[in-house]
Amino acid sequence: MNKNRHPIIAREGWPFLVLAAILAGLSSVYCVYLAIPMWIIFLFILQFFRDPPRVTTGGDSAVSAPADGRVIVIDEAHDPYTNQTSLKISIFMNVFNVHSNRIPVSGTVDAKQYYPGRFFNAALDKASDNNERNALLLTSKEGHRVTCVQIAGLIARRILCYVDEGSNVIKGERFGFIRFGSRVDLYLPKTTKVLVSLGDKVVGGETLVAELPISE
């Protein structure tokens, strides 16, 4: 079991929080009519950038959710990054979910591929192929190929990823962040056992979404 602790507020949010607090404070002094809306904006930003600690469980074959959100896709699909038929699990993050992204399996980062793109609603299927995205191609400790793709959403405008090609990563560790609504796609070996259902709400780094096969 690996316990992954992070600051309760994600570091990506501090510039936004400081600016919102200054504007809310100034409005409270100089323009009381704007004070309530500005403090509401401050509270929204505060909840968006929260980054609570998570406890990751399961062995090397267990796949943990890479993000908080709702499961919107479970299907066999072509993995465009490894050019093979895979099991695809997609998780949609709305603006009220925690937006820190976490490694789904322990192993090695074989490649990191960034693609500029559009900003369609991340809940739509075409978002996987058309939106701005960043893909991590991983090899698990047991030799399985797993692709984890951060996808920008309708109002997301920046994908942040802090691991590089060749990095050794641990399941559940924080590796990135997507601002303001987005999606993460997982491509797993097609014989992987699914542990979640469509519509399920999952917790990044904690919920086990799949079990990799003993051998491919």
Residue positions annotated with a catalytic role: 182
Distance of CA 26 to the CA centre of its chain: 34
Name the DSSP letter for residue 192. Answer: P
Q: Residue 117 is encoded by which pair of tokens? A: 């793109």
Q: HEC string of 78-130?
A: EECCCCEEEEEEEEEECCCCCCEEECCCCEEEEEEEEECCECCCCCCCCHHHH
- Residue 46 buriedness (CB in 10 A; 0-12 / 13-18 / 19+): middle
